[in-house]
Amino acid sequence: MVDVSEGITDRFGRKFEKLRVSLINECNFACTYCVSDDANGRNHLEPNINTAPHQKRLNTREFIESITLVHDIVNLKSIRLTGGEPLLYPDLAGIIREIKLLGIDDIRLTTNAYYLKDKSVELKQSGLRAINISLDAVDGEIFRMMSGNQRMQRVLDGVDDALDAGLDVKLNAVIMKGKNDNQIIPLLRYAGHKGIDIRYLELMKMGHLYHHMDGFFFSQQNILDVIQANYFITEVSRKKSSTSNYWNVPGIGNFGIIANESVPFCGDCNRLRMDSFGNFYGCLSSSVGIPLMKESGNREKTVDSLKRLLSYKQSHHFKGNEMTMRYIGG
C-alpha cells in the first residue's frame, strides 16, 4: 500500500481517516426527522438530487472494491456501516469479514436494532467492534410517534443482545422539541442502568428539514438545561475529530451531545462517505457524489477526486443537505 494520505490534506490539516458506508437506503422505520410523507402519503427519500433510477445498489464484492480503492490511497483507520437500515443488507456479516481482511480492524455499525436480536454474536465474530443503536424514546407511544414502529421492545432486546455479545454499545437519540424532549432523563437513566453511554443528537437540516425545522430544534444548551435541572454534571474533554461533546453524571455515567448545529465540529472532521450506489461524498453538507470506481484504472485521477471531495468540507459550519441521512449515510 502506498500511503499518499499526507498529500490529501486541506488547509485545516484535515484528511480522510474514517469512512461511513450506507449499505442500503431502504429502512423498516420511518423516523419523523428522516422520512417525510407528502400529501399522498408517499415517503420522500432524497428530493432534487441526481439519484438516477438506473443506479444499482452495490453488492459485497463491489463495495469491497470501492473501499479497497480508497483504503490503498488514504489508509483508512475505521469504517462505520450504516444506511438506511444496515441490518436489512443481506450480507452484513460477510461484508464485515471482507473489510477485516483488508486490515481495517475498527469496524462499527449504526442501526435501529429492530433485527439485531440473535445476530450480535455472529456480527462480533465476523469482526464488528462497536455498535451505535438509535433509540429516541423509552416510552412506547413516543417511540412509535418518533419511529413509525410499534415494537420498541424489539429494539430494547437488540440492545441486550449487543451487550451480551460483548460489543461496545452506545445509544443515539435525536431530540425534537415538543416530541421527545421529555425522554432525555428517562433515556439517560436507561443508559445508566445498562452501563452504556448515550449521545443526544441535535436535529440536523437534512432531507425534508433542509428548508425549515418547524420549531422542532432542541439545542445542546436546551438538553444540558434539562439534565442540569436533575443532576450535577461535569464536562469531559472532547477527543480530536469526535462528533460529540461529553459530560459525566456521577452515579450514572457519561452522556454526549452531537451538536452539529449549535457547536459545529467541522474544523477537524476526518470523515468520507459512500452511498449504496458507490458514490463518495466529502461532507454531509455536500450532495456532490463521485463514483470513484468508474475511474479506478487511473490512480492519479482518483487522488484528484479525493482532493476535490475534501475541498467540499465546510470550513466551520454544517450547512445542511437536501439529501436525507439514510441516503448519504448517517
Least CB distance to ligand SF4 at residue 134 (A): 6
Number of residues that bind ligand SF4 (CB under 6 A): 12
Q: Give Cα 202 distance to the centre of its chain.
A: 13
The three cell numbers of residue 309 are 471531495
The Cα–Cα gap between 51 and 70 comes to 22
The Cα–Cα gap between 245 and 274 comes to 25
Strands 36-37 and 43-44: antiparallel
The Cα–Cα gap between 225 and 208 comes to 28
Q: Give the nearer residue to ligand SF4 in terms of CB position, either 112 or 279.
A: 112
Residue 45 interaction partner, one of ligand SF4, ligand SAM, none, beta carbon < 5-8 Å per kind: none
Q: Could you give the string, one character per residue 45-84, with x where binding to ligand SAM holds by CB under 6 A and - elsewhere?
A: -------------------------------------xx-
- Rounded to 10 degrees, what is the CA torsion of 225, 230, 231, 233? -10
Number of residues that bind ligand SAM (CB under 6 A): 20
Does residue 257 belong to the site contacting ligand SAM (CB under 6 A)? no
The Cα–Cα gap between 214 and 229 comes to 26
Return the residue of 70, 96, 290, 325 that touches ligand SAM, per CB under 6 A. 325
Return the residue of 204, 227, 293, 310 that touches ligand SAM, per CB under 6 A. 204
Q: Give the nearer residue to ligand SF4 in terms of CB position, either 35 or 223.
A: 35
The Cα–Cα gap between 17 and 270 comes to 5
C-beta pairs of 208-214 under 8 Å, 24+ apart in sequence: 208/36, 208/44, 208/47, 208/324, 209/33, 209/320, 210/320, 210/321, 210/322
Q: Give the nearer residue to ligand SF4 in terms of CB position, either 119 or 326.
A: 326
Least CB distance to ligand SF4 at residue 283 (A): 19
Residue 201 interaction partner, one of ligand SF4, ligand SAM, none, beta carbon < 5-8 Å per kind: ligand SAM
Q: Could you give the string, one character per residue 107-146, with x where binding to ligand SF4 holds by CB under 6 A and - elsewhere?
A: -----x---------------------x------------
- Residues in 115-134 at the binding interface with ligand SAM, rule: CB under 6 A: 134
Residue 204 interaction partner, one of ligand SF4, ligand SAM, none, beta carbon < 5-8 Å per kind: ligand SAM
Query: How many other CB atoms sit within 10 Å of the CB of residue 173?
Result: 26
CA distances to 98, 128, 227, 238, 329 from 107, in Å: 11, 5, 32, 21, 15
Return the residue of 14, 80, 108, 326 that touches ligand SF4, per CB under 6 A. 326
The count of C-alpha atoms lying within 13 angstroms of the C-alpha of 165, restricted to the half-sphere facing its C-beta, is 25
Return the residue of 19, 23, 24, 27 that touches ligand SAM, per CB under 6 A. 27
Burial of 330: CB neighbours in 10 Å, binned 0-12, 13-18, 19+: buried
- SS3 label, residue 46: coil
- Residues in 5-44 at the binding interface with ligand SF4, rule: CB under 6 A: 27, 29-31, 34-35
Q: Give the nearer residue to ligand SAM in terms of CB position, either 105 or 214.
A: 214
Does residue 86 belong to the site contacting ligand SF4 (CB under 6 A)? no
Residues lying near ligand SF4 in the complex (CB under 6 A): 27, 29-31, 34-35, 83-85, 112, 134, 326
